[in-house]
Structures are given as structure tokens and as C-alpha cells.
Amino acid sequence: MGRQPCCDKVGVKRGPWTIEEDHKLMSFIINNGSKPCRCGKSCRLRCINYLRPDLKRGGFTEMEENQIIQLHSLLGKRWFKIATHFPGRTDNEIKNHWNTRIKKRLKLLGLDPLTKKQNTSKGYEENVEIKSLHNNGTKEMKKTKEKIEEKENKVTWDAEFHNYEIQSSKVDFGSCISQENNTSVSSYCSSSFSIDDSSYPYVGQFPYLEGNSLQQWVDSMDSILSWDSLNPLEEDFHLLENKE
DNA sequence: AACAGCGTCAACCGCCGAGAA
DNA sequence: ATTCTCGGCGGTTGACGCTGT
């Protein structure tokens, strides 16, 4: 058995993050606020997987997918290593994408997700056979084909949206804030957002970023992302909380 | 309209290794 | 040398939204 999970600590909150907690965490990172009542591990994860300003959002492009497949055959399930080849992507994101989409895509193509070779063992073909027997074959196959096409169209759209996001990320925070005052709370919370909602979900939500460029934020994040100083500061946090 | 099944993804779990005590 | 603590990272879970019946 391993050690007890750090989140078992009394008074340490778990579950989905609230906007307020994100604010606290961002504020804590920038060094003028209190840390949310979460364990360091959870804060680190939240920052890496969600709050990082250089994060790309939206679906993976076909090129990215192919690159993931290639890297997976070279590195195996070392998602962190794979993620280092995709600036703005997290290991979690890549892992999720692999498990939910790429695996299936390879299977549909009759390829073994592990070896990427044509799957000659029964698995895939058997599936198709069973489906044809049970669902009158051609109808089901047509549906599957339509689904694949639909998803591929989505990927193309997602790729275009990516470009939009990349362009958005080049914009200075200061100028963004004035444009983004209308950003709704729901779009901030959501992991996916429409073009109408505009670029990064937290832009405009952190007034203390005003005047700072995105790059400055990234730099300040990088300097603390080792999180070495985070746990000792938990005590300070409690003191600050009591003062509030 | 209601329900079931499925897909997605954020967040947590827990093992492992490194480094400190 | 041993024990303890913590961060890293792959595996897993569960909530939520979407789609089909």
C-alpha cells in the first residue's frame, strides 16, 4: 500500500473547482492572494491542466493525432513525454484523447492500437460481423461511416478554431480585458467555449493581470511551477484565512 | 417527454522514485 | 542504511451532456 492521499487532510476541499477557487489560485500564483483550500497536488494539477494561459483548447488536428500515434509507438504510454512534443497540450488531455478517440479510430481502421498494425486477430472483424448479423449489416455500416465523417468534419472545424485561439493568445491581456468584459461566467467555467465567448476563458476575470502580457504570466507561472514552495505556504494560507 | 446508453474530460487515486531527515 | 515525505505521472472514476429509442 502506498501512502495516504494528500487530499485526505482534514479541511482540504475536493471535487470540481469553483470560479472563486480559480481566482484564489491565480491570485496566489501571482503572489498577492490566498491559496484556495486545496492540497498542493490538486492546485498543481488545476494549474497545469486548466489555468495555464498557453493551453490550446479544442480538438486535436489530424496532424496532431498522427503525431501522437507515432510518438505512442515510440514511447508507449508515457503521456508526459508525449505531451512535451505538443506545446500547449497536457499529458491528461493527450491521454484522454487517446483513450476516447484515437484508440477507436485505429480500431475502426482495423488497426491494433498497441502495435498500429493491421489487426488480423478476430477482434475487429468479429465486431463488424456481429453488428451486420444483428443490425442488418449495410444500414449499420452506413451509420458508422456517417459518424466517422461527421467527426472528421468536426476535427477540421476544431483545427480552424485552434488557429483562432492561437491568434487570440497573441493578444495582450490589457487589450483583451476591455474586449472581454462581456464574457459570461458560464463560458469561463466551461472547458469549451464558442467564438462568441472569445478566447481564453479567464481573460477579463483577473483584473490584477491588467497591463501584463500573456508572456509575463507564463514566465511567472514557470518560475513557480515546481511547487516546491507551495506546501509550506499552506500554513501561511490558514493564517491569512483567519485574518480575512 | 422520459429514459437508457454512450462519449468526453476534469479530477482523483495510488504506485514509484528521489531526496531529505 | 533506513524511514519518511513529497512530486510525478499513468490509471481510473464519475459527473455531465448528447444521442437514440
Distances (CA, A) of A159 to A171, A192, A204: 19, 14, 25
Domain, as residue range, for A88:
58-183
Say whether both A80 and A174 belong to one domain: yes
User: What's the CATH code of the domain at A102?
Assistant: 1.10.10.60
**Per-residue pLDDT tens digits of chain A, which is 244 residues long:** 333 444 445 567 778 888 888 888 887 777 656 677 777 788 888 888 888 777 777 778 888 888 888 888 888 888 888 888 888 888 888 988 888 888 777 776 666 666 656 654 443 333 333 333 333 333 334 444 444 444 444 444 344 334 433 333 333 322 222 233 333 222 232 333 332 333 333 333 333 333 344 444 444 444 444 443 443 333 333 433 444 3
Tell me the backbone φ, ψ of residue A119, rounded to 5 degrees.
Answer: -80, 105
Sign of CA dihedral A69, A72, A74, A79: positive
Q: What is the pLDDT of residue A22?
A: 83
Say whether both A116 and A232 belong to one domain: no
Question: Nearest 10 degrees: CA dihedral of A217, A92, A162, A195?
Answer: -80
Say whether both A151 and A179 belong to one domain: yes
Q: Does A138 contact strand C, using a CB cutoff of 7 Å?
A: no
Angle (CA) A86 A204 A36, round 5°? 75
Say whether both A29 and A63 belong to one domain: no
Beta-bridge mates of residue A111: A118
Nucleic chain B contacts, protein chain A, residues 43-72, CB cut-off 7 A: 45-46, 49-50, 59
| A10 within domain boundaries | yes
Q: Residue A72: how many CB atoms within 10 A of its CB?
A: 20
Nucleotide closest to residue A189 (CA–C1'): B10
Say whether both A109 and A156 belong to one domain: yes
Q: Residue A93: how many CB atoms within 10 A of its CB?
A: 19
Say whether both A159 and A112 belong to one domain: yes
Say whether both A147 and A227 belong to one domain: no
Q: What is the pLDDT of residue A36?
A: 73
What's the number of domains chain A is made of? Answer: 2
Say whether both A73 and A165 belong to one domain: yes
Q: Does A192 contact strand B, using a CB cutoff of 7 Å?
A: yes
Q: What is the pLDDT of residue A114?
A: 62
Whole-model pTM?
0.57
Q: Does A192 contact strand C, using a CB cutoff of 7 Å?
A: no
Say whether both A170 and A102 belong to one domain: yes
Residue nearest to nucleotide B16 (CA to C1'): A2
Nucleic chain C contacts, protein chain A, residues 68-127, CB cut-off 7 A: 77-81, 91-92, 95-96, 99
Alpha-carbon distance A207 to A204, whole Å?
6
Q: What is the pLDDT of residue A76?
A: 85
Q: How far is the CA of A178 from the C1' of B9 (A)?
A: 31
Alpha-carbon distance A114 to A128, whole Å?
20
Q: Does A226 contact strand B, using a CB cutoff of 7 Å?
A: no
| A195 within domain boundaries | no
Q: Report chain B positions within 7 A of protein CB atoms.
A: 7-16
Q: What is the pLDDT of residue A43?
A: 82
| A190 within domain boundaries | no
Q: What is the pLDDT of residue A121?
A: 44
